[in-house]
């Protein structure tokens, strides 16, 4: 019993000492932060002996919500991570404190590089439930700063190969007021990471490439960094919604070549139906795209399919005209003989007999009628072969031979980053 009492007393003493040590550590941290910020001037950059501050930046991409072809921009949410050295924030490591975690309210009292995003349209730092920012201070003066940013960023797209295209969207960061003599902005060894949960409905991210884009304004040098996001468009949606349906409409227009030359209502109805259907599909295929002054791959495809169905309608017009010309000629040539024969037979009381050589069930067809049928026979072979040749040329040109520029900033210093799906 006495032994249990001793254990309880010792446990209480250890627990009390831990609580006291924790409170002591918290008090030391509080006093240390107060001491560091007592004479600290947050409006002055921590330059030493004329050496500029080097700000190392890294992006952790959380999501790319949408990529718009019409407005040529994209939505992205990411963590903007920065690290730099501030000698004014050095403290004694012998105090047993490895790092100081600052409250968001205290961050306003620390100098932070004035980084802004050049191609930003709209952006914000999240503030639910508190400002999504953090700052760590290390004994050697190292400052780690992170903020969660979401925004819409411009992305000038090349739509020549749409929807078989690859796009390169970039994000560029630069100091707004500090020149290169005060602040140098550079990427960290690993410039960017991508969350494992990131999924894009229309595109696949192939790779990332960092680059430098230092510029000069009014004779003053400013350092700039950028990140190219290489995207490949998924064509599954366009195959099911545009390409395959248009192929079926073109094939449907070929049914006209197998109908009789006398089936005028059926062939006209089928020809007009395919033309109108293809016209509707062509308007739906380019809906939502921005207006550009060049021809896109989708325009070539839609125009070719529309040409094939319209050519099928013109083929029927040619066949019908050939057949009707022969019918008119026979009617005009046979009209006097038919009238005379009708009178003679009427006087005799006999019915007129068909003449040899006339077209009918038991007689040989006329030359022009056979020509019309031959046009249909040739079209049955010519149209499919031509369409297959067009498809071969189309897919080879846009998928194999025509490759876009792989990098907008190929002459700029930077590194290529394979897509790394990082843990959250």
418 part of a folded domain: no
Assign 422 a pLDDT band (cuts: 50, 70, 90): low
pLDDT of 125 over the 90 cut? yes
My answer on whether 362 and 327 are in the same domain is yes
My answer on whether 331 and 343 are in the same domain is yes
**Per-residue pLDDT averaged across 199-206, rounded?**
90
* Confidence at residue 20, expressed as pLDDT on a 0 to 100 scale: 46
* Confidence at residue 342, expressed as pLDDT on a 0 to 100 scale: 53
Confirm whether pTM is higher than 0.95: no
My answer on whether 22 and 55 are in the same domain is no
My answer on whether 137 and 199 are in the same domain is yes
408 part of a folded domain: no
My answer on whether 196 and 222 are in the same domain is yes
My answer on whether 271 and 333 are in the same domain is yes
Cα–Cα distances in angstroms (integers) from residue 83 to residues 134, 143, 145, 162, in the given order:
12, 5, 6, 40
309 part of a folded domain: yes
Assign 413 a pLDDT band (cuts: 50, 70, 90): low
My answer on whether 11 and 62 are in the same domain is no
Reduced to 3 states (helix: H, G, I; strand: E, B; else coil), residue 376 is helix
pLDDT of 18 over the 90 cut? no
Q: In total, how many domains does the chain have? A: 3
339 vs 255, higher pLDDT: 255
**Per-residue pLDDT averaged across 343-348, rounded?**
50
CATH number at residue 132: 2.70.170.10
pLDDT of 304 over the 90 cut? yes
Assign 360 a pLDDT band (cuts: 50, 70, 90): very low
32 part of a folded domain: yes
Q: What are phi and psi of 150, to 5 degrees?
A: -130, 140
My answer on whether 266 and 173 are in the same domain is no
CA distance 107 to 101: 10
Cα–Cα distances in angstroms (integers) from residue 69 to residues 94, 152, 160, 293, 302, in the given order:
57, 13, 12, 15, 19
256 vs 321, higher pLDDT: 256
Q: Which of 186, 203, 234 is the last residue of a domain?
A: 234
172 sits in the region (left: phi over 0; alpha: psi -120 to 50; else beta) called beta
- Summary mean pLDDT of the chain: 82
Assign 307 a pLDDT band (cuts: 50, 70, 90): very high
Assign 189 a pLDDT band (cuts: 50, 70, 90): very high
CATH number at residue 326: 1.20.58.390
My answer on whether 57 and 196 are in the same domain is yes
174 part of a folded domain: yes
My answer on whether 52 and 198 are in the same domain is yes
* Confidence at residue 7, expressed as pLDDT on a 0 to 100 scale: 54
* Domain housing 257: 238-401
126 part of a folded domain: yes
* Confidence at residue 103, expressed as pLDDT on a 0 to 100 scale: 87
316 contact partners, CB below 8 Å, separation of at least 6: 256, 267, 268, 271
pLDDT of 88 over the 70 cut? yes
**Per-residue pLDDT averaged across 404-408, rounded?**
58
pLDDT of 330 over the 80 cut? no
Give residue-wise pLDDT tens across range 72-87.
999 999 999 999 999 9
Q: Which of 199, 234, 269 is the last residue of a domain?
A: 234
Residue with tokens 């009238």: 339
**Per-residue pLDDT averaged across 360-389, rounded?**
78
């Amino acid at each position: 019993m006495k032994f249990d009492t001793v254990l309880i007393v010792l446990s209480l003493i250890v627990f009390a000492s831990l609580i006291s040590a924790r409170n002591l550590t918290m008090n030391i941290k509080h006093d240390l932060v107060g001491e560091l910020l007592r004479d600290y001037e947050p409006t002055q950059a921590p330059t030493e002996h004329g050496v500029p501050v080097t700000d190392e930046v890294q992006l952790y991409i959380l999501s790319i919500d949408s990529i718009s072809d019409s407005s040529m921009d994209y939505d992205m949410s990411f963590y903007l991570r920065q690290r730099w050295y501030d000698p004014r924030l050095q403290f004694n490591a012998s105090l047993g404190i490895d790092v100081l975690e600052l409250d968001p309210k205290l961050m306003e009292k620390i100098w932070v590089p004035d980084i802004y995003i050049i191609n930003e349209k709209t952006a914000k730092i999240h503030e639910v439930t508190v400002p999504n920012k953090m700052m760590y201070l290390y004994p050697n003066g190292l400052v780690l700063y992170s903020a969660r940013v979401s925004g819409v960023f411009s992305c000038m797209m090349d739509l020549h190969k749409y929807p078989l295209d690859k796009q390169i969207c970039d994000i560029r960061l630069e100091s707004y007021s500090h020149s290169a003599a005060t602040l140098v902005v550079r990427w960290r060894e690993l410039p960017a990471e991508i969350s494992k949960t990131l999924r894009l409905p229309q595109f696949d991210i192939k790779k990332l490439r960092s680059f430098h884009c230092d510029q000069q304004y009014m004779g003053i040098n400013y350092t700039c960094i950028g990140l190219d996001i290489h995207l490949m468009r998924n064509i599954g949606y366009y195959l099911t919604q545009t390409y395959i349906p248009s192929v079926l409409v073109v094939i449907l227009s070929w049914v006209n070549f197998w109908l009789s030359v006398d089936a005028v209502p059926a062939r006209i109805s089928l020809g007009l139906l395919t033309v109108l259907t293809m016209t509707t599909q062509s308007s739906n295929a380019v809906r939502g795209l921005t207006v550009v002054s060049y021809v896109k791959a989708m325009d070539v495809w839609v125009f070719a399919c529309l040409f094939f169905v319209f050519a099928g309608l013109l083929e029927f017009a040619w066949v019908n005209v050939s057949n009707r010309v022969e019918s008119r000629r026979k009617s005009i040539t046979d009209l006097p003989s038919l009238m005379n024969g009708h009178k003679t037979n009427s006087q005799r009381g006999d019915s007129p007999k068909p003449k040899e050589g006339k077209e009918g069930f038991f007689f040989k067809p006329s030359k022009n009628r056979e020509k019309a049928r031959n046009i249909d026979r040739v079209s049955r072979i010519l149209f499919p072969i031509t369409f297959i040749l067009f498809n071969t040329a189309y897919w080879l040109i846009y998928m194999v031979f025509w490759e876009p520029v792989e990098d907008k900033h190929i002459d700029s210093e930077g590194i290529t980053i394979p897509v790394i799906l990082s843990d959250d």
